[in-house]
Amino acid sequence: MPELLSDLTTLRLGGPAAELVEATTEAELVAAVAEADAAGTPVLLVAGGSNLVVADEGFAGRVVKVATRGVVPDVEGPDAAACGGVLVKVAAGESWDDLVARAVASGWVGVEALSGIPGSVGATPVQNVGAYGQEVAQTIASVRTWDRVERTQRTFAAADCGFGYRHSRFKADPDRYLVLEVTFQLRLGSLSAPVGYAELARRLGVEVGQRAPLGDVRDAVLALRAGKGMVLDEADHDTWSAGSFFTNPRLSAEQAAALPADAPRYAQPDGRVKTSAAWLIEHAGLSRGYSLGAPVSLSTKHTLALTNRGGGTTADLLALARAVRDRVEQAYGVRLVNEPVLVGVSL
């Protein structure tokens, strides 16, 4: 029987893989991708499967499951000493939340607000994963990759990664760079980085910009995420999702001014204004649990997640996504953009 992508994704959706290769070492990972590239075979990389929406027809190529392991901290080398902290080299296949848990336990500061995010370390620079006031771009020192065009390894310093809101050079050119290892530069201490998100600050009982014990920040973030169905739980269908399905729109000043007076507005360094996709969805009249009748719906805990209630299909999910996108555009003139990677399908 062919492997079903539904068994490898947090949405539990997706048809069969024509071929599945599991790579547990870096050499196996490079070989699996390079061989497919040389043969002209399409490649789909899967690790945690938390950011993928795969067609019901499956994937007619080689699915490579990234299962590499390794976390190597350096607190004594010259580079670590220069940054006054620790440099941590992490294999692409490592669990992201396992790394965050280790960082908090070890007194490595800078990723604690990113607790509870599913998926692999190698995926984090691609999306520039962020939540609760932190982004991985703030702590990534470098990303080592396999360049599938030049067929050689290339390492990019953080400044060369093209990081932006949920964006990077790796996302901009998705078929070129295979992430092998990410190096993080983290401070040492018992207190968090300054808390940059109001909801988290309130939960911790501190002001925005203040610090809190690392463990307290992790516990608070996990509780907030669980309350929104954003911590994986086999028994909770609200977590059968790809997390936030739409990115928060970044608008021109004119677009932002056209929104209702009570719409959230956050000034951005580039002069644009960020607003809340969840607010737009809710105020366009789509409440938690909204469904078109198929076994998929908006989460009952958070309108930004599209969820599989069991027995759903990718076609069902996309129909709901289009309905949400179109309703928001009709109401506010803002077109929402999907955050998960779409494989073999489109909105």
Q: Which of 168, 192, 244, 299 is catalytic?
A: 244
List the one residue out of 317, 240, 330, 242 whose CA is nearest residue 285.
330
| 339 among known catalytic residues | yes
* Backbone angles phi and psi of 250, in degrees to 5: -110, 115
| 166 among known catalytic residues | yes
Report d(CA 289, CA 60) in Å as an integer.
33
Which token pair is 229?
Answer: 């169905």
Report d(CA 243, CA 231) in Å as an integer.
9
Report d(CA 230, CA 289) in Å as an integer.
15
Which token pair is 314?
Answer: 């990718």
Q: Which of 62, 144, 166, 169 is catalytic?
A: 166
With a CB cutoff of 8 Å and minimum separation 6, the contacts of 314 are 13, 14, 53, 54, 55, 56, 345
Please check whether residue 181 is in contact with residue 87, taking contact to mean a CB–CB distance below 8 angstroms: no
Long-range contacts of 223-227 (CB under 8 A, 24+ apart): 224/132, 224/199, 224/200, 225/115, 225/116, 225/117, 225/131, 226/116, 227/301
Residues present in the chain in total: 347
Report d(CA 163, CA 170) in Å as an integer.
9
DSSP letters spanning 256-281: HHTS-TTS--EE-TTS-EE--HHHHH
List the one residue out of 204, 64, 193, 179 whose CA is nearest residue 124.
179
Q: Which of 22, 28, 199, 339 is catalytic?
A: 339
Report d(CA 64, CA 18) in Å as an integer.
11
Question: Would you please indicate which residues are annotated as catalytic (active-site) residues?
Answer: 166, 244, 339
